[in-house]
């Protein structure tokens, strides 16, 4: 028959691994594809015959036989049959799932679990950007921003008014007039080098960047760094080594 005349035997580099006879029609049939197995994810695998009607496929009565009516190019069927390029046994890790791309190759894409997110509105990220919702933020985190976190619910603001910070964190406004949620009750290590001194824009000498951040947090607005080292000015210098 025309179908049998189109049979080709796999050989070459693949012959050492297995021998198989794969049938490819010279054109794309309107009939579907007959499969011998189903993967754990429900995807059909182990192609038995392309261009076969449903009646012909199911007539054998084999357990696990499946039929699909999708039309795919011969090149795609060849890859599915010989190289078994499917998402079966592909572990993408947490927050990702396997999908077949346009070239019929398995690819891991970001798909965070957003089922437990209760707040459906916009959120402000730790990068100072507003995201449509927390799920959109999690996708951006997956795509290359591993340190990205939710700062607070709602759009990013320029003031701390109406900003509700989670837990024990406090809202502060930085030098660029962006509101952030930070934790004030952190313990700063003792000063080990004079090079750690910073002169704040308020004329106060801070023992380290950690001490300056704590002071900023407690004040509720940005202090900023004037320059590194102890303050040199005409007015009396105030020094803050410990903030309790």
Q: Distance (Å, rounded) from C-alpha 218 to C-alpha 195?
A: 24
C-beta separation of 156 from 128 below 8 A: yes
Phi/psi at 91 (5° precision)? -100, 110
Q: Is this model's pTM higher than 0.75 or not?
A: no
Q: What is the pLDDT of residues 90-128, one digit of tens each?
A: 778 888 888 887 777 788 889 999 999 999 999 999 888
Distance of CA 172 to the CA centre of its chain: 29
Question: Are 16 and 4 spatial neighbours (Cβ–Cβ below 8 Å)?
Answer: no
Q: What is the pLDDT of residues 176-218, one digit of tens each?
A: 788 888 888 777 878 778 888 999 989 999 998 888 878 888 8
Q: Which of 43, 25, 19, 45 is nearest to 34 (CA)?
A: 45
């Amino acid at each position: 028959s025309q179908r049998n005349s189109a049979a080709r035997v796999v050989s070459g580099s693949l012959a050492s691994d297995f021998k198989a006879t794969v049938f490819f029609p010279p054109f794309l049939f309107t009939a579907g594809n007959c499969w011998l197995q189903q993967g754990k994810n429900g995807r059909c695998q182990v192609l038995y015959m392309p261009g076969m009607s449903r009646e012909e496929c199911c007539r054998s009565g084999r357990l696990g036989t499946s039929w699909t009516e999708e039309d795919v190019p011969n090149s795609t069927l060849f890859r599915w049959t010989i190289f078994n390029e499917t998402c079966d046994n592909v572990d993408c890790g947490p927050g990702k799932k396997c999908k077949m791309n346009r070239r019929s190759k398995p690819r891991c894409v970001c798909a965070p679990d957003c089922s437990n997110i209760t707040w459906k509105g916009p959120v402000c990220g730790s990068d100072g950007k507003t995201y449509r919702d927390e799920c959109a933020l999690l996708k951006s985190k997956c795509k290359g921003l591993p340190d990205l976190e939710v700062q607070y619910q709602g759009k990013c603001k320029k003031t701390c008014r109406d900003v509700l910070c989670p837990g024990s964190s406090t809202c502060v406004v930085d030098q660029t007039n962006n509101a952030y949620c930070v934790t004030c009750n952190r313990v700063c290590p003792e000063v080990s080098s004079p090079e750690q001194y910073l002169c704040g824009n308020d004329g106060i000498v801070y023992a380290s960047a950690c001490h300056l951040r704590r002071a900023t947090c407690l004040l509720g607005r940005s202090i900023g760094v004037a320059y590194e080292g102890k303050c040199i000015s005409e007015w009396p210098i105030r020094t803050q080594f410990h903030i309790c």
